[in-house]
Amino acid sequence: MRLLREGKVKNIFELGSGNLLMVFSDRVSAFDIKFDQRIPNKGKVLCRFADYWFNKLNVPNHFIGMRQNNAMEVRKLSMIPYEFIIRGYYYGSMLERYASDTDFKSLFGSNLSLMKGAKLPRPIFEITTKSEEHDVPVEREKIIDSGILGRGTLKRIEDRSFAIYDTMFSIAKQSGFIIADVKLEFGFDGQSELTLADSIGPDESRIWLEKDYQPGQTQGSYDKQLLRDWLIDIGFKREMSRLAMKGEIPKAPKIPDSIISQMSERYIYVYEKITGEKI
């Protein structure tokens, strides 16, 4: 078994069979900053959530099977170097990027008026680069012009992404949760079949408790948004922006024990409620 890559959260090994072993750690990052502390049971939840969604979603995927509570075997794919995001609610990075974007507002009509956390008239599809450092939005025409993906393939990815989001949203709603957005990755297998890859869970989506949902407010998150919100509250994100102008990166602050315990409890809670299984 050979280590291929150590990511922010997952370590990926190549097995003798040619398949990959994805090992999920308790590491955590936010705003592309890695933290020294660990979130107990996070890796186990992420891995088992991925197992759950791959088995629920009726789309070709790379999942073969669980090998440990925090490790799963998957098929090796030729990965597409982009991340594909479906957003159903006006939240997160959208608040900054689209605050004065008339093109975005024109998607839904010139009279569109949104508040933080509002449900969009319909979900939207976005594409970003895929990086361990910082993901950047990409226009689809640039992708097509680059020759990396054709127009037809990109449309298939878009359609499949919407279908995946609709299924996940419906399943989560049955347990009293809202999936506000989801980030997906795809690749091609040996027969050039479009295949869902990587993992799906609270690190790839924003998940809210429906009974607590209030448009205009910061939503109570059952994902790593809880850490992002704390970083915003203490001014860390603002400091990041200031230092970025100098080409510097701030040192990660120590996460309070209360935030660590809340994140661990919420990861476990949302997993057990949606899947009906115990950690």
Q: What would the pLDDT profile of 196-205 be if each residue is shown by its tens digit? A: 999 999 999 9
Checking if the pLDDT of 37 tops 90, the result is: yes
CA–CA distance, 240 with 253 (Å, rounded to integer): 12
On average, the pLDDT of the chain sits at 93
Which residues lie below 8 Å from residue 179, measured CB to CB, with a gap of 6+? Answer: 88, 165, 168, 169, 172, 205, 206, 207
Which pLDDT belongs to residue 44? 97
What number of other Cβ atoms are within 10 A of residue 162's Cβ?
A: 15
Residue-by-residue DSSP string for 10-70:
EEEEE-TTS-EEEEE-S--EETTEE-SS--TTHHHHHHHHHHHHHHHS-S-B-EEEEEETT
pTM of the model: 0.93
Q: Tokens in use for 106?
A: 């024109």
Checking if the pLDDT of 69 tops 80, the result is: yes
Which pLDDT belongs to residue 105? 65
Written out in words, the top-level CATH class of the domain with range 80-275 is: alpha beta
Q: What would the pLDDT profile of 215-237 be if each residue is shown by its tens digit? A: 999 999 999 999 999 999 999 99
For 127, counting Cβ atoms within 10 Å of its Cβ (0-12 exposed, 13-18 middle, 19+ buried), the class is buried
Choose between 7 and 57: higher pLDDT. Answer: 57
Q: Where in the chain is the domain with CATH 3.30.470.20?
A: 80-275
Which pLDDT belongs to residue 234? 96
CA–CA distance, 86 with 165 (Å, rounded to integer): 7
Q: Where in the chain is the domain with CATH 3.30.200.20?
A: 2-74
The fold for domain 2-74 equals: Phosphorylase Kinase; domain 1 (3.30.200)
Of the pLDDT bands very low, low, confident and very high (cuts 50, 70, 90), residue 169 is very high
